[in-house]
Structure 1
């Protein structure tokens, strides 16, 4: 399996934006937490979160083809597939839990971070109901695709159970636990 250090090095080379690297790290943390809770491969789930947007900064018009090709060249087919499926409109099948987990973690993690950044207490006291209320406000974090969030929730809940509120509470907890590193302190 691809070493996490090698993945981080690639991300830093291909992603000059500190903001996008922070997003990648946040999704990595959320994915690792989900994998641990579901007794899945924590390292694999983490790598999917870390690398899902690795080529976006440098080659936005080719995203995610560059990172998918790079992973396939290294025999990382499961990772490559999950990353190629992290947007439903690319019409890639969701064959594995890894694919669904990445879809269910990407957009919503960025959205929860945006919710935290507009609060004086950041993640402290942030509740799922507040995040869901903000999701209804199309002007807030307008770049977050609400359809992708809903589909991610739907697929993850079908695969592993639970509710939107439980998924959101878990994401908030992970971001809160890592708030200093993620610029949410």
Structure 2
């Protein structure tokens, strides 16, 4: 079992450097998605580690966007995180803002799913239900092809992420939709608590 700080400590660390609802929602979503992937891909005993990496992956982005994945190691070390977690967090910026390559399957999942959760989240907001629960891969693929939709979500990163995992784009989309469905209610409930 991989060693990581407690959920309580990780959330406190996140909130120390992040206050915008958009960033908190993204962190909680990626945490839930990474936990789902850990269970689904056979890493259940490391679920807490995968989820913590998801929660803290953008720890430096709100305050230091120009130093994304450069500032993170210092913040994470100060927060009591180990080197394995720090490597995993930084690896999602590979080829974009750092040279830490995603090696472990978990790091490849984070690299691929991080951008995709943003696209799925934006697509869900456009639905009458405002939810991912009734979203199908076919409608997501339409949004993916529309370059103007959620333009900040890099299609190249999502494609590269799928390739690194040896998955088709459809497979990555389908799994990540299922992961977001699984954690949507919990994430929304926690957001209400955080903003309350």
TM-score by length of structure 1 reads 0.88
Paired residue for 1:54, among 56, 59, 84?
59
Quote how far apart the aligned CAs of 1:94 are: 2.2
RMSD of equivalent CA atoms: 1.9
Q: Distance in 1 between matches of 2:94 and 2:164?
A: 11
Quote how far apart the aligned CAs of 1:26 are: 0.5
Quote how far apart the aligned CAs of 1:81 are: 0.9
Q: Is this contact kept in 1: 2:94–2:102, CA < 8 A?
A: no
The aligned residue for residue 125 of structure 1 is 134
The secondary structure found in structure 1 opposite 2:150 is: coil
Quote how far apart the aligned CAs of 1:180 are: 3.5
Q: Is this contact kept in 1: 2:69–2:93, CA < 8 A?
A: no
Whether 2:15 is the aligned partner of 1:12: answer yes
Name the count of aligned residue pairs. 180
Instruction: For 1:163-178, list aligned pairs within 5 A.
Output: 163-178=168-183
Query: Using a 3 Å threshold, how does the CA distance of structure 1 residues 75 and 27 change in structure 2: closer, same or farther?
Result: closer
Instruction: For 1:14-163, list aligned pairs within 5 A.
Output: 14-40=17-43, 41-72=46-77, 74=80, 76-89=82-95, 90-121=98-129, 122-157=131-166, 162-163=167-168
Q: Is this contact kept in 2: 1:69–1:80, CA < 8 A?
A: no
